[in-house]
Structure 1
Amino acid sequence: NQGTLFTDLTTIAGTSSIDSIHWNFGDNTFGVDSIENHIYNNIGTYSVQLFAQSDQGCADSLVQTVFVNPNPVVDFSLADTCVFQVVNLNNNSSITSGTISNYEWDFGDNSTSTLFEPNHAFNQAVNYALQLVAISDSACTDTSTLSLTIHPQPVADFTFTSSCFNASFIDASNIASGGINDYAWNFGDMGTASIQNPNHIYTANGNYTVNLQTTSDFGCVHDTSKSINIFNNFTADFILSNSQICSGDCIQFSDSSTAHTSGT
């Protein structure tokens, strides 16, 4: 399917001249011009004959062999993915004879590769046109282009308030396009939740690392962690006047609760 250029180089001595030439391209097609650009539609080996005749009726012919090589067939597949994640490229290119010696990838973001199936991650959530050129050992080529959509990651974020052992968490996550489908909270004390704005009760004072993982409607994931200090500033307690009494006797209860300052 690529043009093969044939150029007549026939000469004749003396004052005679070449009256006519005839080409037989070996595929049941013919030509009469001194320069022919002939296209073979099928691979194979062709015997090309040039027949020349002078103005005196003298003739000569020459046969040369033309090898028509196959083009590679570029075939690759890919799947839309998330920003910063590696794109899975499946290279299924083939050729009927010979070998594919080179691959040239253009990822559409000013980066390229010559590997069979390269790994590549994109840092912007836009649409890209990925192109693959396959080059055979006889320099025949084929090209294919596919569109790829890179989806944005959500940006996980939250705020919180706490009072005694109670903590309230408010989701502040966002995403450039699409939506956030899933929330996974880890409160740092083995407690978890999967709602957007949870409340959580801690059982002991301390500093806890709270993690929120968000997942978009395409499956892109991002998480963030923040530290929360849980401090109950008093300890409830009381004293009994007697731990053992008889029926009808009185007992005195005395409050002995104590207040604390932060860090004690």
Structure 2
Amino acid sequence: MLTLFVGNAFSQCNELIPLEVINPGFEGPPGQHITPAPWSTCGITPDTQPGQWGVTQPPSQGNSYVGFVYGSASWQEGASQALSGSMQAGVQYDFTIDLSATPAAGGGINPNSFCSMEVWGSSALCGRNELMWSSPVVTHYGWQTYNVSITPTSNWTHIYFICNCGPLGYILLDNITPLQANNPNVFITSHVDGDAETCGFNLAGNINNAIIDSVILTGNFQGSPLPATLVGLDWSAPLTFNGPGNQTVIATAYYTDQQSQETCVSTHVDLVINSPASNFTFVNQCDGTGIPFTDASVPFGASIISNWDWDFGDGNTSTQQNPTHLYATSGTYTVSLEITSSDGCSVTSSQDITVFENPVADFTFNEACEGDITNFTDVSSIGVGTVNSWAWTFDDGNTSAIQDPTNSYATLGVYDVQLTVTTTDGCTNSVNQDVGMYPLPVADFTFSDGCLNTSSQFTDASAVSTGAVTGWDWTFGNGAIANSQNPANTYVADGTFDITLTATTDHACTDAVTQTITVHPLPVADF
């Protein structure tokens, strides 16, 4: 079996299908005017040897071979066969064949007429569209191996071996080895592994076959994948890398194979890119605080960094080296810094920054009267984050760091109480409220002893040092009550009764007082 390997397949490309002919060693029963199947005699009379016309030379391999006679230009014996696929125009194929002359003179063979072997390509059986190779005249008795190189100009589907010599010349053919395609290939010539470069430079190379229609470069550079400029067998492309360090560039050459499929071969080079390194520092801040950004980029070699282009991720930009930016709202933003050095290299780095949400400080409390304890309850809030610190100042010299504290004021008055809350991210907010320590009222009232079934008048005499008495709750000792300031009450039985007045101020402070009234019976008039 004759096999033609075309192309140098790699993992991302199509595998190429081998081309084959059957019975490349011409194995079959010897006989005159026949060739072993499936080789065609092309309507003439080659022979399967040895043993015919006095030819006794052993095969170069196997058990048989073929002999071709040249009678005239119209009588050139040979053998032809269809390939399993078409050749690739422009691709060089390399293989070997074994040839020999013979001293036999049977059948009118002229042993002194030496021949050469021709290899033809065609689009049909026994066709001679293109002479692809011709051997030197074979004058030696005994097998010699010949190296054959052919480069078809069309995608031929058939191959034809035929002899050419003087009248009645005879040549022997055996052992056609697989036809190996000299694959299209791509090379990088401007650099070798380990070369150091700046971030911008030209990469160049060449190809070995014009059937290659494009060279594509891939790697960590701008525009990747990038088509190279292909002029004849040479290619080149300007590269600008996105960052420094060890970088690999892959060059992939594409061409159309004999199966009309796009096929590729590739090579690569490992380079060390010495370019400026973009970097910056910052500290996450709370909402409402400007964030300073500090350029920490490093130039390469003798170059200097000449431009800074900041993108703060919220639609705002800056060209300062060390800008400060105030974000309108809390959240996470991606900040990018592109630097450009004096030699034209541009490199970008990005980092995420968080603007923390501020808490909303708030608290509730009870209004306290003289001698009472004031209870404070934290009701601060935050959307994203956690409040974990509370700082209270009670305006009387006392402080607290617990969430819900109490405080006892020693003197009456109104105090400016402040609560400052802090989140786990360090964001703070404060709120102030007036908290009072209010005086108790002194409940008091006046009245006169009354008589049975006569209305008794009660007059409030309560007082408070600050504020006003705004509530009065009376109980008259006979089941009757009142809540007006100066009520009256009529007793329907004589005797003594305890009267209690509870006075309440405008700050809900209370005091109570009890007095006893005597209700006298009415006299019985008589005469």
TM-score range for the pair, normalised by the shorter chain length: 0.5 to 0.7
Partner of 2:466 in structure 1? 177
Q: Equivalences for 1:90-169 in 2 at 5 Å?
A: 90-155=377-442
CA drift of 1:106 comes to 1.5
Could you report, residue by residue, the CA deviation over 1:46-71 in whole angstroms, capped at 9, with x for unpaired residues?
Answer: 11111111122112221111122211
Helix, strand or coil at the partner of 1:149:
strand
**Quick one: which of 366, 369, 377 aligns to 1:82?**
369
How far residue 155 of structure 1 moved from its aligned partner, in angstroms, is 4.6
3-state SS in 2 of match to 1:52: strand
Unaligned runs of 5+ in 1: 159-170, 204-210, 226-264
Amino acid at match of 2:466: S
Aligned with 1:34: secondary structure? coil
Q: CA deviation at 1:212?
A: 8.3
Equivalent residue number for residue 216 of structure 1? 505
Deviation at 1:15, TM superposition (A): 2.8
Partner residue, 1:33: 320
2:304 corresponds to 1:17: yes
Partner residue, 1:54: 341
Helix, strand or coil at the partner of 2:436: strand
Distance 2:474 2:405 in 1: 33
Distance 1:218 1:145, change over 3 A: closer
Greater Rg by CA:
2
Identity over aligned pairs, percent: 31
- RMSD across aligned positions (CA): 4.0
Equivalent pairs, count: 216
3-state SS in 2 of match to 1:35: coil
Checking the alignment, whether the CA contact within 8 Å between 2:416 and 2:433 is kept in structure 1 is yes
Q: What is the distance in 1 between the residues matched to 2:397 and 2:339?
A: 54
Cα gap change, 1:202/1:111 in structure 2, threshold over 3 Å: closer, same or farther?
farther
Mapping of residues 245-256 of structure 1, within 5 Å: none
- How far apart are the structure 1 equivalents of 2:506 and 2:434? 20
Q: Distance in 2 between matches of 1:35 and 1:152?
A: 60
Does the 8 Å contact 2:419/2:431 carry over to 1? yes
- Matches of 2:348 and 2:403 in 1, distance apart? 47
Rate the CA distance shift 1:217–1:20 in 2: closer, same or farther, 3 A: closer
Q: Output the CA distance in 1 between the equivalents of 2:350 and 2:376.
A: 47
How far off is 1:186 after superposition?
Answer: 11
Alpha-carbon distance change, 182 to 43 in structure 1, aligned in 2, over 3 angstroms:
same
- TM-score of the superposed pair, with normalisation by structure 1: 0.63
Instruction: Structure 2 unaligned segments of length 5 or more: list them.
Output: 1-287, 446-459, 487-493, 515-527
